[in-house]
Amino acid sequence: MNEQKREQLSALVDDELIHEASSAIDNLLEDDHAKEIWTRYHLIGDSLRGHLPERYENTADKVSMAIASEPTILAPKKKSSDLMKPVVGFAIAASVAAVAIFNVQQANQAPTAGQPEIVQSSIATNVASIASSQRVTQQDNQAQSPDTRLNRYLVNYNEYRVNTGVRGMPPHVRMVANDTVTTK
């Protein structure tokens, strides 16, 4: 074991190797001489900190022999679905937020003359698919009142919510349209 590797081992003992730690551990596991140095370097620290027991003995061999007869540990890896849960949740939340913003803006803004269609957002595919059902022509926009468009938004949102499992109004609740009362 050359001096450079021994210095690396000293830094590993101090937990001061970040990027090289894995390769230093590989070297350590393959080299019995390096293991002896690892043991003595820790012994020096234990002694200086007053951690030496009354009776010094290297018990590692006995533990190692006992563990040799134990079954090898193979810890289960995390399921990919578990890893994806936060991502999926975030994507759904972002989609719902985008739909809500888009529709509220649409409901509040009067249609611009000469604009052939309301431009659809390309934030997410599912947003686009929902939004496609809401395309209205300029003529429709001009003909519809804000209340009508708001009603359409509520109906569309409720249908979308049922398909995606997003919490909202329960499906058995009847949608009540906001109708303009005209008095004669």
Partner 1 sequence: MGESVTDKQLVERVQHGDKKAFDLLVLKYQQRIINLVSRFVYNPSDAQDIAQEAFIKAYRALPNFRGESAFYTWMYRIAVNTAKNHLAVKSRRPLESAQDIDDVEQIEGDHTLRHQETPEHLLLRDEIQGTILNSIEALPEDLKAAITLREVEGLSYEDIAIAMNCPIGTVRSRIFRAREAIDKELKPLLEQ
CA atoms within 13 A on the CB side of 177: 11
Residues with Cβ within 8 Å of residue 164, at least 6 apart in sequence: 92, 95, 96, 126
Which of 1, 2, 27, 62 contacts partner 1 by CB under 8 A? 62
Question: CB of residue 106 vs partner 1: minimum separation in angstroms?
Answer: 47
Does 173 sit near partner 1 (CB under 8 A)? Answer: no
Token digits for 74?
Answer: 């193979």
Does 31 sit near partner 1 (CB under 8 A)? Answer: no
- Chain residues 68-87 in contact with partner 1, contact rule CB under 8 A: 68, 70, 72-76
Does 58 sit near partner 1 (CB under 8 A)? Answer: yes
Does 10 sit near partner 1 (CB under 8 A)? Answer: yes
Token digits for 127?
Answer: 């947003």
**Calpha distance 20→30 (Å, rounded):** 16
What's phi and psi for 161, nearest 5 deg? -60, -40
Does 18 sit near partner 1 (CB under 8 A)? Answer: yes
Under a CB-based contact definition with an 8 Å cutoff, are residues 103 and 134 in contact? yes
**Calpha distance 142→178 (Å, rounded):** 19
Sole window of 5-13, 94-102, 143-151, 165-173 interacting with partner 1 (rule: CB under 8 A):
5-13
* Binding residues vs partner 1 (CB under 8 A): 6-7, 10-12, 14-18, 21-22, 25, 28-29, 35, 37-49, 51-60, 62-64, 66-68, 70, 72-76
